[in-house]
Chain A
């Protein structure tokens, strides 16, 4: 594998993902509607029920919308990561997976390219969301939009590698509904995306403990701090560690040999 052939390969995968993304505008819109419903509707109803004290990285009292925005950014990455990884292996995209695997380049590299390309496309959705969030006064400092970029990229990689890992290891998670119930919702609700963890601790110690071991919590905190140009080192270490672990297990355990073959 030469440097130039691997670069052309990555570029090709990225261009294809981008072209598909441009073609599927309705998918882009529906990916935005979900977090916007949470931000505009859910947060409006819920803000009265939840008073938030001044917590890091915020310097003053914040509205509930401001609090949940980083979690919703991660929610976009969570849905996209799971969806693309699963479809990569099982759905009608099985055909395109075959094409990908016909490449003479090493399979771990191909999968990595695919994950990075998906992550980059997801980032455009997150930024579109952050622009719309300005309307409800989620206004992080301007530099925050830049400092949050590497954090979002890392989180996107963590979630798409998790998706790939689950899809290759757990046969029962073939359909997206199963993934929603058993992966996306537990990960999202058992995290600091919608409520600070001290609130959770007040309610239940063991739920708090579950939130703490959920890598998604640390991903959300990494993004929350980065959006305000601060580095949460613990969150970075845990998110990066989880990304490495998930990628290594997913890529080494990957096999396109699924389901029943035919004559």
Chain B
């Protein structure tokens, strides 16, 4: 299930957020979308999920155009947004049922899928708890379970670990890697935290709205002449690490 982003440019009024961005993701596996804050990652996600209309360029998923066949594409995409989009006053299960219904899945059909995904995320015992009572890490797990309910081939995660402690961040990252291995899922994980990326991960580094690196994460080390990914990232993007 390849994803192709071809010559995407996007402006917010006078501000150019993305400039001639092109890359291709091969089927299956964990991919990193790297970039400091403001690099254009969220804008790219908004375009890939049709929240923003394309201004220039094209996005195709398995040769289907996001402009021409949006419904087919949305069926294949699971998305975890940067900000939580769960309904806090509803239970975990109610949130998931709502999502299933938006994909035209009946409650009866959704029930076993919900059980399966929540079990996989080790959240089944919280199914009837209100989301408000869950901690940040658990909410994120529910959001990943939700994104997988309609059995997409592609999972987009926009900085899913923002605001989480290091331990939870690591666990969530491992969860998604496991999903990629088990289900041949293609995941695109946006982040500016290099500890979430392994040297052999395929990555795209966005900087000031342009693609700076498209290749294995270890390429960052070569380009920056560093031995540590975090150092290399900061050196290439001219940013300093904030603890």
Report which A residues bind B (CB closer than 8 A). Answer: 1-2, 4-6, 8-9, 11-13, 15-16, 19-20, 23-24, 95-96, 98-106, 110, 255-257, 260-263
Contact = CB atoms under 8 A, between A and B. Distances in A.
A11 B75 CA distance: 19
B83 A95 contact: yes
Contacts of B105: 5, 8
A12 B79 CA distance: 19
22 contacts: A1-B71, A5-B103, A6-B104, A8-B100, A8-B101, A8-B104, A8-B105, A15-B94, A15-B98, A16-B98, A20-B89, A23-B90, A95-B85, A98-B85, A101-B50, A104-B71, A106-B71, A262-B38, A263-B37, A263-B38, A263-B40, A263-B43
Contact of B53 (A6, A8, A257): A257
Given A101-B51, A257-B53, A261-B12, 4 more contacts: A9-B102, A15-B101, A99-B99, A101-B50
B98 A23 contact: no
The list of the 9 closest CB pairs from A to B, nearest first, reads A12-B101, A5-B104, A263-B38, A95-B85, A103-B102, A104-B74, A104-B71, A23-B89, A104-B75
A102 B42 contact: no
B77 interface: yes
A6 B74 CA distance: 15
Contact of A261 (B17, B71, B72, B100): B17
A103 B43 contact: no
Interface in B91-115: 94, 97-107
B35 interface: yes
A103 B53 CA distance: 16
A98 B89 CA distance: 17
A102 B102 contact: yes
B41 interface: yes
A13 B101 contact: yes
Contacts of B50: 101
A16 B35 contact: no
B101 A11 contact: yes
A23 B12 CA distance: 38
Given A96-B85, A257-B51, A20 B90 contact: yes
A102 B49 contact: yes
B102 A261 contact: no
Contacts of B104: 1-2, 4-6, 8-9, 103-105
B23 interface: no
Contact of A103 (B35, B74, B89): B74
Contacts of A5: 103-105
Most buried by A among B51, B72, B74, B97: B51
A261 B209 CA distance: 13
A241 B223 CA distance: 64
A100 B95 CA distance: 12
A65 B60 CA distance: 61
Residue with the highest number of chain A CB atoms closer than 10 Å, among B35, B40, B101:
B101
Contacts of A102: 49, 74, 77, 79, 99, 102
Contact of B35 (A13, A19, A101, A263): A263
B107 to A, nearest CB: 8
Contacts of B1: none
A39 B42 CA distance: 50
A157 to B, nearest CB: 21
A260 B83 CA distance: 16
A261 B43 contact: yes
